Amino acid sequence: MEEPFRVRRDTFMGKVRRRPVVMGILNVTPDSFFDGGRFQDIAAAVSHANKLAADGCDIVDIGGESARPGAVPVSPTDELARLEPVVAELTRLTDVPLSIDTTKAQVAARALQLGAVAVNDVWGLQNDPAMAEVVAAAEAVLVIMHNRTEKDDTIDIMADIRRFFDRSLGLANKAGIARERIILDPGIGFGKTSRQNRDAIARLGELQDYRLPILIGASRKSFLGSLTDGSEGSLIGTVAASLAAAAGGASLFRVHDVAEHVAALKVFHAIRQT
């Protein structure tokens, strides 16, 4: 990793250790569940990333393939075609660190080469065998997210999350990924029932013994709508879920609505520090 991007990486991780951190979502996809198709044009994507930064996000997470249930798989070539010009332009125009949301080592490697400082892998190194080596070689930040291929309402979701994290952390350790650059994400909305999504947030304290930062991505997820009689997760529901997660020990929040979360988390942090 080149020195300017190393500085961005270390500055970002320093913030994570001091206060709640907001990760702004930029999907350059046609089919993401909330904002699919809005930022496929390079100019629109760059403009939105600049708005996220102006609203106060600490890092922008860029995705080129939807991870929603039923989404059409995208080849590495097509994913890179969506991501590469946006990442290249943003690393040139802004000092805000960039994260790449991908499960493919080839895509991650190119994004890191262009200046991204983090890889957000929704399969926690367990999808592409080459991913761990790519992250290790670049000395990038790694987000390990819990995932399941299907829902199972009979399981203890926190026990399943721990088993998944243990396997992913073993892969990370074997590849030489520094533990101080690893973040855990329980994967809200991925392979979980509504009840299990709520349990994962309510029981975050059970993950504190990993002594790693915890990221929560509940933004606009459908289970929130089911709690408020809405068709989708509302902004208010998202902020409420994020604050509940903050109370349980989460320190990073992957959201669509950055300004509102920056303000809410600033108040939350100030009160907790009193």
Judge residue 203's burial from the number of C-beta atoms within 10 Å of its C-beta, 0-12 exposed, 13-18 middle, 19 or more buried.
middle
Six-digit token pair at 258?
């950055």
The whole-chain average pLDDT of the chain stands at 92
Q: Are 74 and 32 in contact (CB under 8 A)?
A: no
Is residue 124 in a domain?
yes
Catalytic pick from 8, 198, 220, 221?
A: 221
Does 180 map to a domain?
yes
Range of the domain at 134: 3-10+18-215
Q: Tell me how far apart the alpha carbons of residues 185 and 254 are, in angstroms, rounded to a whole number.
A: 10
Q: What is the pLDDT of residue 106?
A: 98
Asked whether residue 96 is assigned to any structural domain, the reply reads: yes
Quick check: is 254 catalytic? yes
Does 240 reside within a domain? no
Q: Return the bridge partners of 21, or none.
A: 252
The per-residue pLDDT for range 76-127, each reduced to its tens digit, is: 999 999 999 999 999 998 899 999 999 999 999 999 999 999 999 999 999 9
Instruction: Give 246-270 pLDDT, tens digit per residue.
Output: 999 999 999 999 999 999 999 999 9
The CATH number of the domain holding residue 201 is: 3.20.20.20
Rounded CA gap, 157 and 234, in Å?
Answer: 24
Q: Is residue 255 part of a domain?
A: no
The tally of domains found in the chain comes to 1
- Asked if 18 is an active-site residue, the reply is no
Judge whether 227 lies within some domain. Answer: no
54 three-state secondary structure: helix
Is 50 contained in some domain? yes
* CB 214, CB 184: distance < 8 Å: yes
Residue 30 lies in a domain: yes
User: Catalytic residue among 8, 192, 220, 254, which?
Assistant: 254
